Amino acid sequence: MKKEIAFSKMSAAGNDFVLIDNRKKAVAKELKRFARRICDRKDGVGADGMILVEASKKADFKMRIFNRDGSEAEMCGNGARACAQFAYDNRIAGGSMTFQTLAGMIEARVMKDGVSLKMVSPKNIRTGIAIAAHGEKHEFQSVDTGVPHAVLFLSKLDDIDVDKCGCAVRHHKEFSPRGTNVNFARVIDKHTIEVRTYERGVEAETLACGTGSTASAILAAELKGCASPVNVRVRSGDILTISFKKAGSGQYEDVFLKGPAVETFKGTLSRK
């Protein structure tokens, strides 16, 4: 007998996700395999990730996010914003909400001009990481914004092979055993940067990455003289705004990520 599961397709600055209200355990088995099937762009709905909204005794709900390859992620900035919009649209939570993730408790606010997310405080900033990839040496920086990110600042981004270089750095021994997301950033002015991201778990460049934009903005403030708020132009052409307070060398607090999150369509999944 086939079981029908309702879902919403959400887009957050070009990052797309399949959202399922899983508070009653509509999806309970083989979650990794299920995520791979649903996120497949040829044989499934197609998405960068699958997000399950589950019941929580500590917050309005719990968010679980699975990458396109089936791996479960600790956190996803754009995914969390899409999840907040989904929860608001479906009356799971009000306009201001808190929800659990593997990276910690997240606060979100749904507004007319987008969704604002209070991120976990960045940690483990490292600078001057020399990495050789495809015969070239690069100096990366890294920071954990809920998930690990490496960032390379460049004078232009059009010439970089994001998939090729990103894949090499993502699997580099410097970031083992977890691996890392990889960002290529260009500083435009004190409050504006441009970012392209290779996402771990998607294993390709995506149109946007919330935690990657946050990581790039924080490191641009730490190393390049940028100041809050930092507007991040992502590959989709959308703008993500990162605001923060600098609490000391390598220390940042009250970090917020704001940007668009919209439902593109609804449907039902058939599962035996």
**pLDDT at residue 257, rounded to an integer:** 97
Which listed residue (76, 165, 167, 226) is catalytic? Answer: 76
Which residue range(s) make up the domain with 235? 123-259
Cα 264 to its chain centre, rounded Å, is 18
Residues 47 and 173 in one domain: no
Same domain, 160 and 265: no
Same structural domain for residues 128 and 248?
Answer: yes
CA torsion 235→186→77→108, rounded to 10°? -110
76 has catalytic annotation: yes
Residue 202 phi, psi (nearest 5)? -85, -35
DSSP secondary structure letter of residue 119: P
| HSE-CB for 83 with a 13 A CA cutoff | 32
CATH number at residue 169: 3.10.310.10
266 plus 252 within the same structural domain:
no
CB atoms within 10 A of CB 227: 11
Question: b or e along 63-92 (b: 16 or more beta carbons within 10 Å of the residue's beta carbon)?
Answer: bbbbbbebbbbbbbbbbbbbbbbbbbeeeb
Same domain? 192 vs 218? yes
For residue 2, the model assigns a pLDDT of: 59
Same domain? For 82 and 154 the reply is no
57 and 21 part of one domain? yes
- The pLDDT profile of the chain, 272 residues, written as one tens digit per residue, is 457 899 999 999 999 999 999 999 988 889 999 999 999 999 999 999 999 999 999 999 999 999 999 999 999 999 999 999 999 999 999 999 999 999 999 999 999 999 999 998 999 999 999 998 767 788 999 999 999 999 999 999 999 999 999 999 999 999 989 899 999 999 999 999 999 999 999 999 999 999 999 999 999 999 999 999 999 999 999 999 999 999 888 899 999 999 999 999 999 987 65
Helices (H) and strands (E) in the chain, counts: 4, 18
In this prediction, residue 249 carries a pLDDT of: 80
200 and 213 together in one domain: yes
Please give the pLDDT value at position 132: 83
109 and 140 share one domain: no
Q: Assess whether 152 and 94 both reside in one domain.
A: no
Strands 96-101 and 72-73: unpaired
pLDDT at 1: 40
Same domain, 130 and 108: no
Catalytically annotated residue among 39, 83, 165, 209: 209
Active site residue 165: no
Task: Decide the pairing of beta strands 148-153 and 114-118.
Answer: unpaired
pTM over 0.85: yes
Number of structural domains in the chain: 2
